[in-house]
């Protein structure tokens, strides 16, 4: 009997098999999308004082100080859904001059999301007056609510944090830029992150310029903070574990309460039938994801869907145990050298971290 089963007083069910992602087709109401715009479980407990700056990277310590001051400065710009006209008048008087947004510019794994979530937690406002989500989740929200309703819903917020701002989709970038313009007019403070490609000397410096250019008239509202450093997910840690055999993965799935077990190619087919805005719900209640026969992703559309699933699994700290090819061979050279390369490197980094987390499932 597992510890969790014993604690709940339930009897074990030996004949019960693992769950399957392919058997799930969740339907997520729009109000859940809004309610879930908070830092994901992985970042529930992070704060500025739990961020450990690399002593060799002074920009990390500087970022903590700047963001702490930014959060404290938001205390006077209270947003309220009632008395809108009077509030707008007050907001224009109380919003301090200078940038009302911060952009965290840096490579993978330097702690940008940790800092962004810490900013959300430190901002003196009720959770319902702060929003946190990825760029993809924000575009999904617009798709679910419509543009005008999204503006209305978020205009009463004090802060909007956007993680993984994507610069590679011109249409979505214009959409979000227009949305942010409306929110700035309403007095909402903004914070955003995006990634730069590892190993590209100097590319990070251009990422900030790209971001400020793409958001067009909003650039004056953002202060860019450069955060240097190496990927903490690989800092001082061993290489990602080699894939296991199909038999080991299957055995672990059956032995782990709440785990799912799926054939990787079948899962990729299933993801095509589920909207990416539902991938978070797809993982509800899972303690681990077990995958057999992991193979290189065949095309760009499939690869982009897998990136979203990897983000949701990472957010929720769901370990991934797999057989087949290693995760650093999921995406072909044409993808890693193409326009979406930043997303693919992020997915590799995150799936590698989750594979390390899954090591304890074997022979447990």
pLDDT over 90 percentage in the chain? 50
Positive or negative: CA dihedral 341, 343, 301, 320? positive
As a whole number, the mean pLDDT across the chain is 81
DSSP 97-150: SS-SEEEEEE-TTSSHHHHHHHHHHHSSS-GGGEEEEEHHHHHHHHHHH-HHHH
Helix (H, G, I), strand (E, B) or coil at 262: strand
Distance CA 333, CA 300 (A): 12
Q: Is the pTM of this model over 0.75?
A: no
Q: How far apart are the first and last CA of the chain?
A: 13
Q: What is the average per-residue pLDDT within 16-31?
A: 88
| The CA-based dihedral angle spanning residues 280, 282, 285, 290, taken in that order and rounded to the nearest 10 degrees | -110
Q: Which pLDDT band holds residue 174 (cuts at 50, 70, 90)?
A: confident
Q: Is the predicted pLDDT of residue 6 greater than 80, yes or no?
A: no
| pLDDT value of residue 207 | 56
Burial classification of residue 219, based on how many CB atoms lie within 10 Å of its CB (0-12 exposed, 13-18 middle, 19 or more buried): middle
Contacts of 77 (CB under 8 A, 6+ apart): 91, 94, 95, 96, 158, 187, 189
| pLDDT value of residue 215 | 65
- Give the closest residue to 183 by CA, choosing from 135, 148, 210, 207: 148
pLDDT in tens, 51-97: 999 888 999 999 999 999 999 988 754 433 333 333 333 333 344 45
Q: Is the predicted pLDDT of residue 36 greater than 90, yes or no?
A: no
Comparing 143 with 233, which gets the higher pLDDT?
143
| pLDDT value of residue 234 | 52
Longest Cα–Cα distance of the chain, Å, equals 66
């Amino acid at each position: 009997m597992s510890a969790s089963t014993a604690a709940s007083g339930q009897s074990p069910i030996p004949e019960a098999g693992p769950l399957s992602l392919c058997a799930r087709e969740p339907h997520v109401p729009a109000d859940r999308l809004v309610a879930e715009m908070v830092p994901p479980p992985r970042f529930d407990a992070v704060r500025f004082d739990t961020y450990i700056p690399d002593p060799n990277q002074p920009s990390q310590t500087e970022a903590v100080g700047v963001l702490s001051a930014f959060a404290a400065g938001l205390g006077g710009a209270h947003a309220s859904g009632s008395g809108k006209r009077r509030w707008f008048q007050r907001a224009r008087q109380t919003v301090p001059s200078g940038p009302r947004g911060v952009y965290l510019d840096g490579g993978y794994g330097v702690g940008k999301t940790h800092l962004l979530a810490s900013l959300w937690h430190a901002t003196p406002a009720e959770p319902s007056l702060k929003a946190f989500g990825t760029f993809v989740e924000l575009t999904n929200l617009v798709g679910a609510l419509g543009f005008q309703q999204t503006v209305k819903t978020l205009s009463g917020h004090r802060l909007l944090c956007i993680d993984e701002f994507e610069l590679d989709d011109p249409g979505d970038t214009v959409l979000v830029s227009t949305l942010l313009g409306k929110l700035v007019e309403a007095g909402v403070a903004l914070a955003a992150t995006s990634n730069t490609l590892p190993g590209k000397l100097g590319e990070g410096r251009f990422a900030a310029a790209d971001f400020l250019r793409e958001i067009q008239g909003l650039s004056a509202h953002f202060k860019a903070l450069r955060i240097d450093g190496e990927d903490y997910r690989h800092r001082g840690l061993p290489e990602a574990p080699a894939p296991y055999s199909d038999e080991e993965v299957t055995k672990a799935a059956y032995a782990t309460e709440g785990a799912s077990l799926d054939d990787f190619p079948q899962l990729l087919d299933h993801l095509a039938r589920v909207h990416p805005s539902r991938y978070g719900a797809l993982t509800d209640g899972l303690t681990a994801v077990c995958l057999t026969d992991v193979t290189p992703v065949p095309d760009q559309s499939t690869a982009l869907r897998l990136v979203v699933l990897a983000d949701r699994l990472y957010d929720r700290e769901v370990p991934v145990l797999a057989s087949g090819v290693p995760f650093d061979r999921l995406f072909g050279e044409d993808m890693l050298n193409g326009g979406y390369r930043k997303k693919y490197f992020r997915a590799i980094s995150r799936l590698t971290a989750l594979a390390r987390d899954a090591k304890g499932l074997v022979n447990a």
